[in-house]
Amino acid sequence: RLCCMNKYNKQLTVAVCCLIFCCLCLFVAVLFGVNELLKEQTLDGDVVSQSCWVPKGRDYCAPQFIIAGAMKCGTTSLWAYLINHPDILPLKKVQIDPRNLRTVLAEKEVRFFNDGAYKQLSKEYGFDKAINYYLDLFHPIPPRPDCPEHPENFGKITGEATPMYISGRGVAKRVYDALPQVKIIVMLRNPIDRAYSDYWFRKNLKIKADQIGRFDVSGYTHSEIFQQCMEIEMELFEKCKYNEFRDDPTLDSYDAFLQCHKRTSKTIMNADEASDVCTKSDLAPLCIPDAIRGNCQNKGLEVGMYFGQVFEWLSIFPRDQILFIQSEEFYSNTVEVMQRVSEFLNVSPDFEWDDVVSTTFNIVNPTSAAGLKQNLFTNNTQAKNSLQIGASNSTSEYPPLDPVVRSKLNNMMSKYNNALAKILKDEKFRWK
């Protein structure tokens, strides 16, 4: 009996010692934060801290955030504001690969995960090399303070802003496969206002100082032209069964919609009024009058059909890795939103955003009539695309959308916006 008791006491002592050791380990981890004891292993790298994930085979932290969209929703201003923060580093260079096949637009839009660059660079160099070229665009951020190189960057973060990522099918999966810990920021604007802004943005890129009125059409106001473009695209949504996808969403049904939209939109955008498409086919109701067809875009409204895009990204990324910002709130309460972004990115909350948010930033063509009116925030001549970031004290200049037209189009979009608000569980995305 004594032997049994001694054996029991020894087992109890070992158990108590193990419990004490575990408690000590937990205490050390909580006390010091970044600790090898709690370093999480992932398939392709190590989570070293809340703000640092080191990809396999690399020595430095991967980019910690991506502004993924949407276009014409304030992403350029958000980016310009963020890189003023002392904890946030901009991109290091604009040349993505050694053969200069791809370059960064306006020192912020890498576009690496979009179809064109991703497929081209992966084919040219192989996936692993292509990803490493992407990671080389960012300043080296050491994962620990005792790293001998670039100690001045320890504790900082970096990222990029490519606003067309959100609307690119398959981009979310590519981003997650390469950067599973990255934080995603998505800005969403009233789809009609976004589309109207984009309508003028693409025209203003082309209009030179001596070409004012270049896109005017006799007998039409631009509000009337824009209305026809939007109404036809909404009919296209119906034809391509977006409602069926919205009511019972799957990635397969989203693919079917996107393929239908791409195929059909291309057909009607290239069809004149006298063509067989517009006179003999079932697509005739979707045809755009010749006089205004050049003013319409084949994805003018589809980019603002956020429900499908958000559905895809949330099917791949954990919800707490994505911050959704309503653009209108960003415009009206900029400092408050920037503080929220600071918290999301885990950077110092003490930065005075008031000092930097008084300026508005947009992508501009420096040689266009609109671009000549703005001060250039970037002026990098190494990139293939000449577009830059322009800075001004006002938003883009274009005639306002007729309020009656805007109201009608907003009502037509309400069912799609309602679906978005439901999936995000946030009523402000109904835009009522």
The verdict on whether 280 is a catalytic residue reads no
189 is in an annotated binding site: yes
Q: Quick count: other Cβ atoms within 10 Å of Cβ 311? A: 18
Distance in angstroms (rounded) separating the CA atoms of residues 142 and 34: 13
Distance in angstroms (rounded) separating the CA atoms of residues 177 and 193: 33
| Contact between residue 200 and residue 398 where contact means Cβ atoms under 8 Å apart | yes
74: left (phi over 0), alpha (psi -120 to 50) or beta: left
* Cα three-residue angle 117-305-271, rounded to 5 degrees: 75
Annotated catalytic residue within 7, 10, 72, 206: 72
Among the listed residues 76, 81, 325, 67, the one whose alpha carbon sits nearest the alpha carbon of residue 197: 76
Beta strands in 365-422 (DSSP E): 375-376, 388-392
User: Residue 44 is encoded by which pair of tokens?
Assistant: 């392709």
DSSP run (H or E) holding 161: strand 157-161
End-to-end CA distance of the chain: 80
Please name the residue that has the structure tokens 């200069």.
100
Distance in angstroms (rounded) separating the CA atoms of residues 55 and 211: 50
| Contact between residue 65 and residue 90 where contact means Cβ atoms under 8 Å apart | no
197 is in an annotated binding site: yes
Distance in angstroms (rounded) separating the CA atoms of residues 332 and 335: 9
**Could you tell me which residues come within 8 angstroms of residue 43 by beta carbon, excluding any fewer than 6 positions away?**
180
Helix, strand or coil, per DSSP, at residue 186: strand
**Sequence ranges of the binding site:** 189, 197
Name the residues annotated as catalytic: 72
Annotated binding-site residues for 3'-phosphoadenylyl sulfate read 189, 197
